[in-house]
Amino acid sequence: MKVRRISITLQLFLIMTALIVIANVTLGIILYKRANSIMMSQIRENAANLAACAAASVDGAALASIKEGDEDSEAYASVFESLVLFRDNAGVEFIYTVGPDPELGAIFLVDSDTEEPAIFGEEFEWSESTMAAFRGEVVADEVPYTDEWGTHLSAYAPIYDGTTVVGAAAVDLSFDWV
């Protein structure tokens, strides 16, 4: 009876091949996670920068003067046009302004959406990022969210009237392309 044995050279070759495959898979997973983390960090930073630029372009005094029913006013048109400029040229899918409300937490002020704009005073589903913008910070959400309009990452920046925060500019970047 013959017993076939694997040569020591073949054994070493198979062991080395297995070790190389394991090392490559491990390295690939580590590099993928690191690249994903860096990419998300850059996307959040880009979104925060866009929100800050949009907030800086909005006239805080005009935003502060808008009240319910002022959709035909010059102040509303001024804020709306500033938002439309960013919506059409900066690669954001949605851009709008929100303001603090003692009862609801946050409300929509001016929305640049052409299809289904939020109504002035409509409740805004606020987050810690929104509240941070009302405190004067420029922030982006840590993770994207998914709703009926798709997957987006939101960023918020304060809008000032002098030294007082009167609202926040919010931008939603679409994650459909990622």
CB 122 within 8 A of CB 69: no
What pLDDT digit, counting tens, does each position of 64-110 carry?
888 887 787 888 888 999 898 888 887 788 899 998 888 878 888 99
Low-confidence spans in the chain with pLDDT less than 70: 1-3, 177-178
Instruction: Look up the pTM and report it.
Output: 0.80
Tell me what pLDDT residue 76 has.
85
Coil, strand, or helix at residue 141?
A: coil
Please report the domains of the chain, with CATH numbers, ordered by start residue.
33-174 (3.30.450.20)
Coil, strand, or helix at residue 135?
A: coil
d(CA 31, CA 35): 6
DSSP state letter for 177: T
